[in-house]
Amino acid sequence: MEYAKNILETIGNTPLVKLNKLTADLPCLVLAKYETFNPGNSVKDRMALQMVEDAEADGRLKPGGTIVEGTSGNTGMGLALAAIVKGYKMICVTTDKQSKEKIDILKAVGSEVHVCPTDVAPDDPRSYYSTAKRLGEEIPNSWYVNQYDNPSNAKGHYLSTGPEIWEQTDGKVTHFVVGVGTGGTISGVGKFLKEQNPRVKVWGVDTYGSVFKKYHETGIFDEKEIYPYITEGIGEDILPKNVDFHIIDGFTKVTDKDAAVYTQRLAKEEGMFLGNSAGAAIKGVLQLKEHFKEDDVVVVLFHDHGSRYVGKMFNDDWMREQGFIK
């Protein structure tokens, strides 16, 4: 008989799926690394499990302990699955920008959820960064994960996502394109692919209101670049240690409107019911058209599932309120 001993054993080995209609004008083959096939419906299951297992191994996470993390939703879901199987309590700290579905899903898997204001500075005591760190200090026998600076984040993708992409493309991958938030995916996958073939180009998709693109191009952390934005799961107002700018060849920025519209288009034209960052990622690929040649194999990673955005990007009333559709 063939079966997984628990849900965590089903993480990884997600398929590559060819894009057709949205990429018809590109000269190259575009393949989506379809991460919603993970049990928590996102790429974050990989690094969540890696971070938990590494913390168990070195004693930061002890039996019966409490896991505390600031999350936009997906990392919290991956950590919650690990907590359920391994017997930990889970506390997620998130922001009021995140969709109601994400908060409800975290509660559905037994997590305690704290919601913090989005529009405050990272070092403000009300921010979700500060709140998660404080809870990790105050709660006995707890472990604050800190996915932004935790090296196990990128390590998880170096050990799993990168090797899978290399093997699935038979080493023919020429470009890797992915939205950048904590930086673990782009840095871990990019490091592995460039070790196999230094000519592989690694592109990050950023959003307006985030600091990544300008910092990568100038080395300047420009606070004038920071302002509220709607796109979920990518961009930052800080520089996480997991973002290895030396591995990244460049960034392209995608507007909130384009990210939302292309999230709908992926569903309606490709049958791919995906999250907001997937819309940003595929629009980023289209914006990079001039970098692709006929024989290139472009792998774009799609982070999470459309079920988390039913009240937002898949709700036409909400889309009209934002001015994204007429």
Q: Which of 18, 21, 33, 44 is catalytic?
A: 44
pLDDT score of 122 more than 90: no
What is the mean pLDDT of the segment spanning 261-271? 98
* Same structural domain, 111 and 205: no
Boundaries of domain holding 244: 7-37+160-319
pLDDT tens figures, 199-248: 999 999 999 999 999 999 999 999 999 999 999 989 999 999 999 999 99
Residue 73 confidence class, pLDDT cut points 50, 70, 90: confident
Which residues fall within 8 angstroms of residue 66, CB to CB, at 6 or more apart?
88, 89, 90, 91, 139, 141, 142, 143
* Same structural domain, 174 and 310: yes
pLDDT score of 118 more than 90: no
Measured CA to CA, the distance from residue 55 to residue 58 in angstroms comes to 5
- Do residues 101 and 309 touch, judged by C-beta distance below 8 A? yes
Question: Which domain-ending residue is among 109, 144, 179?
Answer: 144
pLDDT score of 314 more than 90: yes
- Do residues 143 and 64 touch, judged by C-beta distance below 8 A? no
What is the mean pLDDT of the segment spanning 100-104? 89
* Same structural domain, 176 and 304: yes
Measured CA to CA, the distance from residue 183 to residue 171 in angstroms comes to 23
Residue 125 confidence class, pLDDT cut points 50, 70, 90: very high
Q: Does residue 153 lie in a domain region?
A: no
Question: Which domain-ending residue is among 112, 144, 176?
Answer: 144
Residue 93 confidence class, pLDDT cut points 50, 70, 90: very high
pLDDT score of 157 more than 90: yes
- Angle (CA) 11-15-20 rounded to 5° is 145
HSE-up (13 A, CA, CB side) for residue 254: 35
Measured CA to CA, the distance from residue 171 to residue 274 in angstroms comes to 26
Q: Domain total for the chain?
A: 2
The CATH code of the domain that includes 229 is 3.40.50.1100
* Same structural domain, 179 and 251: yes
* Nearest residue to 163 via CA among 312, 299, 272, 295: 299
Q: Is 44 a catalytic residue?
A: yes
- The pLDDT of residue 230 is 94
Residue 99 confidence class, pLDDT cut points 50, 70, 90: confident
Q: Does residue 151 lie in a domain region?
A: no
* Same structural domain, 164 and 272: yes
What six digits make up the tokens of 187? 């840095």
pLDDT score of 193 more than 90: yes
